[in-house]
Chain A
Amino acid sequence: MSQFEHVVIVDDELDHAVISRLVLAQVAPEVGVETFTDLKGLGARLAEVTPRSLVVMDRMLNGTESFGLIEQLKVARPDLTIVLVSAVLNAHDHQRAVEVGATLAAEKPGDLIAWRAFFTDLLGRRPSASGDSAVA
Chain B
Amino acid sequence: MTSLRSETGSVPFDLQALIDALLFSVSHDLRSPLLTLSLSADLLDEALREQVGVPGGEASTVGVALNALRHGTKDLERMLQALTAVSRARRRTLEPVAAPLQMLLGGHVVISDEGDLGRRTVSVDVLAVREFLDATWGDHPAEIHVRIDGEFAILTCPPEDGFSGEPLAALAGSLQSYAGTAVQGLATAQVMIERLGGSLRCEPAHTIVCLPLASPVGFSRGRP
| Interface residue tally for chain A (C-beta within 8 Å) | 17
Q: Give A77-103 as 1s and 0s: 1 = Cβ < 8 Å from B's Cβ atoms.
A: 000000000111010100000000000
A92 to B77 CA separation, bound complex (whole angstroms):
22
Q: Please, how many angstroms separate the alpha-carbon atoms of A86 and B29 in the complex?
A: 10
Residue interface bits A13-43, CB-to-B below 8 A is 1, else 0: 1011001001000000000000000000000
> Does B32 lie within 8 Å of A87, measured CB to CB?
yes
Q: Are B88 and A112 in contact (CB under 8 A)?
A: no
Tell me which of B33-41, B53-61, B133-141, B171-179 binds A. B33-41
Give the docked Cα–Cα distance between A86 and B24 (Å): 12
Q: Of A16, A86, A108, A111, which contacts B42 at CB under 8 A?
A: A111
A115 within 8 A of B: yes
Q: Does B31 belong to the interface (CB within 8 Å)?
A: yes
Q: Give the residue name and chain of the A residue nearest to B84 (CB).
A: A88
| Assembled-state Cα–Cα distance A90/B24 (Å) | 11
Contact in complex: A112, B31 (CB < 8 Å) = no
Looking at A88, A112, A115, which has the most chain B CB atoms within 10 Å of its CB?
A: A88
A13 in contact with B42 (CB, 8 Å): no
Contact across chains for A110 and B38 when beta carbons are under 8 A apart = yes
Residue contact B42 to A112, C-beta cutoff 8 Å: yes
Cβ distance A57 to chain B, nearest Cβ, rounded Å: 14
Chain B: CB-nearest residue to A23: B39
Tell me which of B35, B39, B42 contacts A87 (CB under 8 A): B35
Q: Is the CB of A13 within 8 A of B36?
A: yes
Given contacts A88-B27, A88-B84, A90-B88, contact A13 B38 (CB under 8 A): no
A115–B38 Cα gap in the complex (Å)?
Answer: 12
